[in-house]
């Protein structure tokens, strides 16, 4: 499930980063469910300079301005589990409400119900048996 997360947004604003003054939480942001199909699921924003859009495209209205074009990647494991990698996003990637971002280019194991926080307000929750 992909959603605009007010609690995460408030934490981002509280950090008072260089762009936080210009951010505002979207007044309408429907939750989306996106099936995880394939071995690699890119999280990011499509761009005219890249030939293909990421599988989880956060440019969909409302566009999250804090998300890089390739912000993070979910990797499918042979046992059916997933890992998360941040290949070097500008605004980093956090998991399960932690203020500490995951290290760049390190696979982080994920479990059912884990929450991935990217950008200014986006939280992606992994749910088994349904789309994410």
On the question of pLDDT at 86 being above 70, the answer is: yes
pLDDT digits (tens, 9 = 90+) for 5-60: 999 999 999 988 777 888 999 999 999 998 888 999 999 998 877 778 899 999 88
* Beta strands at 115-118 and 93-95: parallel, antiparallel or unpaired: antiparallel
Domain boundaries, the chain: 2-19+32-125
pLDDT digits (tens, 9 = 90+) for 65-84: 999 999 999 999 999 999 99
Instruction: Give the model's confidence band at 132: pLDDT under 50 very low, under 70 low, under 90 confident, else very high.
Output: very low
Q: Measured between alpha carbons, how far is 17 from 51 in angstroms, rounded to an integer?
A: 31
Q: Measured between alpha carbons, how far is 9 from 25 in angstroms, rounded to an integer?
A: 7
- Would you state the pLDDT for residue 127? 87
The CATH class of the 2-19+32-125 domain is mainly beta
């Amino acid at each position: 499930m992909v959603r605009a997360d007010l609690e995460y947004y408030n934490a981002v604003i509280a950090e008072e980063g260089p762009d936080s003054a210009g951010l505002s939480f979207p007044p309408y942001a429907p939750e989306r469910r996106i099936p995880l199909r394939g071995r690699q699921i890119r999280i990011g924003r499509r761009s005219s300079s890249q030939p293909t859009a990421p599988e989880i495209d956060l440019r969909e209205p409302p566009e999250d301005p804090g998300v890089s074009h390739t912000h993070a990647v979910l990797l499918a494991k042979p046992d059916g589990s997933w890992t998360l990698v941040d290949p070097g996003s500008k605004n980093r990637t956090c998991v399960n409400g932690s203020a500490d971002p995951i290290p760049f280019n390190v696979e982080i194991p994920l479990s059912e119900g884990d929450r991935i926080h990217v950008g200014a307000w986006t939280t992606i929750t992994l749910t088994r048996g349904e789309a994410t």
